[in-house]
Amino acid sequence: MEPGVENWITLHFTWSGKSFTLRIADTDRVLDLKTSLYEQTKVPPERQKILGLVKGKLPPDQGTIADLKLSPGKKFTLLGTPEGDEIKDPSQLLNLPDIVNDLDVDFSKDATVAAYQSDLRNKRKVKEMTDKLQVNIIHPLREGKKLLVLDIDYTILDTKPLTSGSLPPSECARPKLHEFLEEIYPYYDICIWSQTSWVWLETKLVELGMVGSDAKYQVFLDKTSMFTVFTEREGKPWQHSVKALQIIWNHFPQFNSTNTIHVDDLSRNFALNPGSGLKIHAFKNAHTQQAMADRELEKLGKYLVWLAREKEDFASVRHKDWKAVVRGLPPSD
């Protein structure tokens, strides 16, 4: 294989008496193969039984297609029952496990970042996600504004009681949420990016007053705009999903690393753009006194206003120190 070039092979498979064809790159992973099968048959990976593709057991998800040494035109059989159209609990959605224990990797210093960014598969995934993304613009983007990419799940909402219905929606919101949005909106266009499904959260967000003519954001993205990356940590396979900002920048070229900040409770989500990421501590157990006393959004609002007013180039700012910056700001009026 030439350096910097992916080789593609065509595979044929049968499922439920029907014949299918798929193309896959040698840099793809076993997970990508399973995802392609799911896209054509709606048989989720956990129900897939693949016969005749390789001798013995199929390697783990992180294994590359090149390692399978498949011949072009290889035929195999897929067994499995497709899923229905029912709405699933967010923690069970395809390829996106609800990982509570974030490893809190400091990607700004991590050698893994260079491997992620140079990986041919990851570059292609960004392009594929860009091409298939259908942007849902809630409100027109405004000229001259910065861009805030804002996570929902456990960043501005306690998602668990919200989706289960164990608490009223208003009690699941992080304290000062609406005040935060009002404060930063004059400076930022806002892209809400959830790691769950929009159809799952839409009704609850309506009840929270975050959807409608007064909504303080322009664009909404969900799990379908994310993909999984693979590497090793301490000699063990490691995989996780990412939110690649380049997908947004490709659609809206007025934004780039100099005027974009991504706020999330999971640092792994900005692994491909660590310089643009700001980690906020997760908001959980919304019913407790400790959660009700949370003032993280109040502090974050001050930082984002300072950033928009004082810094022409966001890429030159170390967002990891954001709380130290806030402590040094004069008290609000």
pLDDT for the residue 47? 93
d(CA 162, CA 215): 19
33, 234, 278, 287 alpha-carbon torsion, rounded to 10°? 90
Strands 49-51, 75-79: parallel, antiparallel or unpaired by DSSP? antiparallel
Residue with tokens 């990986």: 119
Query: DSSP string spanning 214-264?
Result: T-S-SEEE-GGG-EEEEEEETTEEEEEEE--HHHHHHH-TT--TTSEEEEE
Does 172 have pLDDT greater than 80?
A: yes
* Contact between 310 and 329 (Cβ < 8 Å): no
pLDDT at 2: 55
pLDDT in tens, 3-48: 568 999 999 999 999 999 999 999 999 999 999 999 999 999 999 9
- Kindly calculate the radius of gyration of the chain based on its CA atoms and give it in whole angstroms: 21
Residue 41 near residue 21, CB atoms below 8 Å: no
Give 326: exposed, middle or buried? Use CB within 10 Å, 0-12, 13-18, 19+: middle
Phi, psi of 308 (to 5 degrees): -65, -35
Phi/psi of residue 95, each to 5°? Answer: 70, 5
Residues in contact with 166: Cβ distance below 8 Å, sequence separation at least 6, in sequence order: 160
Mean pLDDT of 57-76: 94
User: Is the full-model pTM beyond 0.85?
Assistant: no
What is the rounded distance in angstroms from the CA atom of residue 174 to the CA atom of residue 157? 5
Residue that has been written with the tokens 């799940």 in this structure: 153
Q: If we measure between CA atoms, which residue out of 129, 159, 91 comes closest to residue 229? A: 129
d(CA 240, CA 222): 16
Domains of the chain: 8-79 (3.10.20.90), 90-327 (3.40.50.1000)
| Helix 296-310 × helix 177-184 angle, to 10° | 0
Per residue in 236-282, pLDDT tens?
A: 877 888 999 999 999 999 999 999 999 999 999 999 999 999 999 99
Give the residue among 291, 252, 58, 15 at the shortest CA–CA distance from 141. Answer: 252
